[in-house]
Amino acid sequence: MYNYNNYLQNDYVRNTTPNSMMNNNQPNLYTPQEGYDKGNLFANLYQPYKNYQPPTLKSRTEKGKLFLELSRYAFAAHELNLYLDIHPDDATMLALFNDYRVRANNLMMEYEKKYGPLTVSSDDLSSSFLWEKEEWPWEGGAN
C-alpha cells in the first residue's frame, strides 16, 4: 500500500507548502556564532535554500577576529530585540538579550580602542579625528 504519510513528510512538500515559513512558536536558539553564519538565531525558524550551506565565517587576523565576535553578539542581541518587540514579557529572552547586548557593547569599546572608531560618538575620537581617516565598509574596512 502506498504510504501517503511519507509523501506528506517529504522535503519537497514541506518546503513548498505556504506554511513552510511559519513559526512553530517554540523558540529554540542557535549560538551567536552559528546564528550569525546562518542569518537566523532561531533554529525553529531556520529555512535553508536547496542544498546551499552558509559559509562558516573566520578571520586570521586579531583585528578580524575581534570584529567578527562583535558582529556575532550585535546580531544575536538584535535578533532578541526583534523577538522582544512582540514578546516583551519573556523574562528568559530578556536576560539573554541583556547578556548579548552587554557583550556586544564591550566588544565595540574594545575594538574602537584598538582599531579606531565605528561610531562618530566614540571616545576614541578625542585626540584625533580618526572618523575621516578610517576605511569605509564598502572598501573592505572593518569587515
Partner 1 sequence: MWAYQKRLQYPVNIKKKDLRMAKLLVTQYGGSNGELAAALRYLNQRYTMPDNKGKALLTDIGTEELAHIEMISTMVYQLMKDATLEEIEAAGLDSHYAEHNKALYPTDANGVPFTVTYFATTGDPLADISEDMAAEQKARAVYENLIDLTDDPDVIGPLLWLRQREVVHYNRFKELFDYYQEKLNPKQQMIDNKMVSDNNNNVNNFMNEVENNFNPISDFLNNFTQKM
What are the Cα distances from residue 12, in Å, to 6, 16, 19, 54?
Answer: 11, 6, 13, 20
Taking the complex as a whole, the smallest distance from the CB of residue 119 to partner 1 amounts, in Å, to 6
d(CA 80, CA 94): 8
Cβ proximity to partner 1: between 46 and 99 the closer is: 46
d(CA 89, CA 83): 11
Taking the complex as a whole, the smallest distance from the CB of residue 127 to partner 1 amounts, in Å, to 18
Cβ proximity to partner 1: between 88 and 91 the closer is: 88
Taking the complex as a whole, the smallest distance from the CB of residue 48 to partner 1 amounts, in Å, to 9
Neighbours of 102 (CB within 10 A): 12
Cβ proximity to partner 1: between 38 and 101 the closer is: 38
Taking the complex as a whole, the smallest distance from the CB of residue 93 to partner 1 amounts, in Å, to 13
Strands (E), the chain: none
Cβ proximity to partner 1: between 58 and 127 the closer is: 58
Chain residues that interact with partner 1, rule: CB under 8 A: 1-2, 4, 21-23, 36, 38-40, 42, 45-47, 49, 52, 54-55, 57, 67, 70-71, 75, 78-79, 81-83, 85-88, 117-121, 131, 134, 136-138, 140-143
d(CA 140, CA 94): 34
Q: Output DSSP code: residue 119.
A: S
